[in-house]
Amino acid sequence: MFEKLGATLADLPDTTVHIIGFPTSQQLSQSQNLQLHPHTDKPFGRLSPQRITAPVRILFKLLQLKPRLLIITTHELLGVALLSKLLTGCRLVYDIQENYFFNIWFTRSFPVVIRQVLASAVRFKEYIGKPFIDYYFLAEKGYVHELRFGRPYLVVENKLPQRLALQYRRKVSGNTRLIFSGTLAVTTGVLQAIELAEQLHRVNNAVTLTIIGNCLSENFVSVLKRKAQTHPFISLKASIYPIAHDQILEALSQADAGIIIYPPNPSTASSIPTKLYEYLAVGLPVIIRHNEGSHKLVNELHAGVVLSTDLRPESLLHALTQRAKQAQNPSIYWESIENELVAAVKRLTD
């Protein structure tokens, strides 16, 4: 919200952007045109009672600010957004970061019956709210087909701004420092990343794996800690709270290759992961097994290795060396979408 949407929209003439969200440990440069409003003093877990009261606090802040345009980035604020629209007359954009229905239904975060109820409730809210929503931002091209209710829309992929890419450009040269970043869960493939790192470490004991990201399950954090204790070549930084983005980018700048291995799951079947764009932007070669769209992007840019069933560890390490220099393409940066984004916002606010 800050580095991408906020920074872009704050550059518009006579515009002030207010961002309401979780507090962050990252030092962010606010200005008269770009202001942060943490809705709580410190982060809280997903089962905290504050998750219930947060929408109320956000609603009061919205009534105080009276925005002309309101962009929400989670289904949990749909009710608040509709009330705000009715009370202030603002235009409303639903920025869909994930297919929440799939994420709940096809993962094991909750027992089967509970997740079916929760997933259905989310989709019900999205359909009920549709008449009140003026526009949709979709974080994935695949959502155009998965989320038929999301019309009219603009695909706004989570690419890294070029200024950040240059700041955190890969600083090392080699093929042994591996990294897995982002959400840590069974569905995001962190266990497969550990298994791959084990195979490569047996071939070359200089191979290390850094795991950095947030994990919604304390039990799964414990699983990862046990893995790290068993394998000293694994460095783990996992938290149930979001980790500051600059810490993740700094870790990328110190790595040799990023691992992206998604187990087959409908919740991620059509995604182009945010971390893929981040790896590409900072010049980090990629080891990937995901979907056709992701593989095509990596192959077109000669940016890494698409895993196959017969690829040997020795060959993989050698291939990473060959991918140390990748083609740079303006389409991988956030700036490639800015003009369309600004045009859409101007139409909504004119």
Beta strand pairing call for 257-261 and 234-239:
unpaired
Q: How far is CA 295 from the centre of its chain?
A: 18
> Is the dihedral angle over the CA atoms 132, 138, 141, 142 positive or is it negative?
negative
**Amino acid at site 306:** V
CATH of 2-159+334-349, one of 3.40.1190.20, 3.40.50.2000, 3.40.630.30, 3.30.70.2660: 3.40.50.2000
pLDDT tens-digit profile of 215-270? Answer: 988 899 999 999 999 999 999 999 988 899 999 999 999 999 999 999 999 999 99
**Fold held by 162-332:** Rossmann fold (3.40.50)
Q: What is the rounded CA–CA span in Å between residue 16 and residue 94?
A: 19
Helix, strand and coil in the chain, % to nearest 5: 45, 15, 35
pLDDT at 325 over 90: no
Report the predicted TM-score, pTM, of the whole model to 2 decimal places.
0.93
Exposed / middle / buried, residue 33 (Cβ in 10 Å: 0-12, 13-18, 19+): middle
- For residue 37 the two structure tokens come to 């409003």
Mean pLDDT lowest for which of 28-42, 125-139, 201-215, 254-268?
A: 28-42
In the predicted model, what is the mean pLDDT of residues 319-342?
Answer: 85
CB 24 within 8 A of CB 3: no
The pLDDT confidence band at residue 5, using thresholds 50, 70 and 90, is very high
Q: Domain limits of the chain? A: 2-159+334-349, 162-332
Mean per-residue pLDDT over the chain, rounded:
92
| The pLDDT of residue 172 | 75
> Is the dihedral angle over the CA atoms 259, 265, 267, 272 positive or is it negative?
positive
pLDDT at 326 over 70: no
pLDDT tens-digit profile of 80-100? Answer: 999 999 999 999 999 999 999
pLDDT at 211 over 80: yes
The yes-or-no answer to whether 2-159+334-349 and 162-332 have a common fold is: yes
CB count, 10 Å around CB of 67?
Answer: 18
pLDDT at 324 over 80: no
| The pLDDT of residue 174 | 85
Higher pLDDT, 318 or 192: 192
pLDDT tens-digit profile of 177-200? Answer: 999 999 999 999 999 999 999 999
pLDDT at 22 over 90: no
pLDDT at 327 over 80: no
In the predicted model, what is the mean pLDDT of residues 199-210?
Answer: 96
**Helix, strand or coil, per DSSP, at residue 261:** strand
In the predicted model, what is the mean pLDDT of residues 25-39?
Answer: 85
In the predicted model, what is the mean pLDDT of residues 47-53?
Answer: 81
- For residue 25 the two structure tokens come to 């440990």
| The pLDDT of residue 156 | 97
| The pLDDT of residue 15 | 95
pLDDT tens-digit profile of 135-179? Answer: 999 999 999 999 999 999 999 999 999 999 999 998 777 889 999
> Is the dihedral angle over the CA atoms 277, 279, 283, 289 positive or is it negative?
negative
| The pLDDT of residue 49 | 82
